[in-house]
Amino acid sequence: LTGTSREQRAFQYLLTHAIPGDPHHILQIFDQWSYHCEHLSCVGPDKGERRIVERVLLERAPLRVLELGTYCGYGTVLLAQGLPPGARLYTIEGNPRHAAVAEKVIRLAGFSEQTVELIVGPSEEVIPRLREKHGLMNANLVFMDHWKRCYLRDLQLLESHQLLAEGATILADNVLFPGAPHFLQYAKTCSKYHCKVHRARLEY
CATH number of 6-190: 3.40.50.150
Q: What is the pLDDT of residues 60-113, one digit of tens each?
A: 999 999 999 999 999 999 999 999 999 999 999 999 999 999 999 999 999 999
Assess whether pLDDT exceeds 70 at residue 50.
no
Rounded Cα distance between 115 and 82, Å, is 12
Does the active-site annotation cover 31? no
Summarize the confidence of residues 174-182 as an average pLDDT.
Answer: 93
Rounded Cα distance between 194 and 98, Å, is 33
Does the active-site annotation cover 174? yes
Sheet-wide strand order for 139-144 = 116-120, 88-93, 64-68, 139-144, 164-172
Does the active-site annotation cover 22? no
Summarize the confidence of residues 186-196 as an average pLDDT.
Answer: 96
Rounded Cα distance between 167 and 187, Å, is 14
User: Residues 150, 123: contact at Cβ < 8 Å?
Assistant: yes
pTM: 0.95
- 90's enclosing H/E stretch is strand 88-93
Helix 23-36 and helix 6-17, axial crossing angle in degrees, nearest 10: 130
Residue 162 CB neighbours (<10 A):
10
| 67, 140, 148, 154: the active-site residue | 148
How sure is the predictor about 185, in pLDDT bands with cuts at 50, 70 and 90? very high
Does the active-site annotation cover 154? no
Rounded Cα distance between 106 and 128, Å, is 24
Does the active-site annotation cover 132? no
Residue 152 CB neighbours (<10 A):
18
- 97's enclosing H/E stretch is helix 96-108
Domain ranges (residues) in the chain: 6-190
Summarize the confidence of residues 127-137 as an average pLDDT.
Answer: 98
pLDDT at residue number 47: 76
Which amino acid is located at 174 in the chain?
A: N
User: Residues 80, 109: contact at Cβ < 8 Å?
Assistant: yes
Residue 93: what are its φ and ψ, rounded to 5°?
-130, 125
